[in-house]
Amino acid sequence: MRLDPGVVALVLLAALLHASWNALVKSDSDRLVSMGLVMIAGAVLGLAVVPFVPFPDAEAWPFLLGSVLIHNFYYFFLLKAYRWGDLSHVYPIARGLGPLIVAVASGGLIGEHLALGEITGVCLVSCGIASLAFGNGLPRGSEWRPVVYAMLTGVTIAAYTITDGLGARHSANALSYIAWLNVVEGPWVFLVALAVRRGSILVYLRRHWWRGLAGGVIATIGYGIAIWALSLGAMAHVAALRETSVVFAAAIGAILLHESFGRRRIFAAVAVAAGLVLMNMRWS
């Protein structure tokens, strides 16, 4: 099931937005509070949209509530991975594993069976992404700790991708599902930050409130596009396209931060590009 070129372009935009808000959170002095502010900003945007969309159908709510639970596990594992490992190491593992799991599981769970060429394309995308993480070889000893958390993050990425795809399809209106997901999901990380940081959170908010606001707007628009695309096309395609955010992050580092692109990143970019071509070819 190929995606229309316009949908592909929008999902690639969502990938760029995802890389951008992650860069904002990762570069912050307090990632927990920053993540909480991102979620609160998303909830506010959701509340602004809710009056203009229909209430989600009853069939969509089990998926929506399940997604909220999965997302909170995702945030926990992601912050743990960032605590013990570098962004350039753990992020590609998590984002590369997700689409592979979706591709494997989508056939049995939702009846989306991929052609061999499409499976090859998804594998190329995932391997190209993961190569950014293992360029220096496999981890040893305590180096496995961030890898384990990154892999658990990847599992939750696959889980909420499938859950939100099904939820959007069971809802009468994908935009309604997106808005209510942001509203219901929004407060929890920030409440944890309030409990953990207590007095220091006010000082942070006075100085850095704009980071959470900017990250929340970017994240909400980006994931909203992804959920909308999941309601239209094959989930494995959308998942793989969205995880090209890792390549965008590498490009941002090279262009804006003057980091070396290197042979490994060139290989990753070529593998991802080849995978995307294979995924969207017509296979009979």
Does residue 146 lie in a domain region? Answer: yes
Q: Whose CA is closest to 242, among 132, 170, 157? A: 157
Does residue 284 lie in a domain region? Answer: no
Does residue 76 lie in a domain region? Answer: yes
Our CA angle for 217, 226, 261, nearest 5°, is 80
Model pTM?
0.79
DSSP-derived secondary structure letter, 226:
H
Q: In sequence order, what are the residues at sequence separation of 6 or more whose Cβ sits closer than 8 angstroms to the Cβ of residue 176? A: 53, 54, 55, 56
Question: Based on C-alpha coordinates, what's the Rg of the chain?
Answer: 18
Does residue 123 lie in a domain region? Answer: yes
Supply the angle between the helices 200-230 and 235-242 in degrees, to the nearest 10. 140
Does residue 89 lie in a domain region? Answer: yes
pLDDT in tens for each of the 284 residues of the chain?
556 777 788 888 888 888 787 777 766 678 788 888 889 999 999 999 999 999 999 999 999 999 999 999 998 998 888 777 766 667 777 777 777 787 777 766 666 666 777 778 777 877 777 776 666 566 666 667 888 898 899 899 989 988 998 898 888 888 999 999 999 999 999 899 888 887 778 887 788 778 778 888 898 898 888 888 888 766 777 877 777 777 776 676 667 656 565 666 667 767 776 776 676 665 55
Does residue 245 lie in a domain region? Answer: yes
Report the distance separating Cα 208 and Cα 31, nearest Å. Answer: 11
Answer for the pair 185, 68: CB distance below 8 angstroms, yes or no: yes
Domain that holds residue 156: 5-279
Answer for the pair 227, 174: CB distance below 8 angstroms, yes or no: yes
Q: What is the pLDDT of residue 279?
A: 66
Does residue 151 lie in a domain region? Answer: yes
Q: How many domains does the chain have?
A: 1
Report the distance separating Cα 110 and Cα 108, nearest Å. Answer: 6
Classified as helix, coil or strand, 44 is helix
Query: What is the total residue count of the chain?
Result: 284
Q: What is the pLDDT of residue 98?
A: 76
Answer for the pair 244, 125: CB distance below 8 angstroms, yes or no: yes
Residue with tokens 């989508």: 106
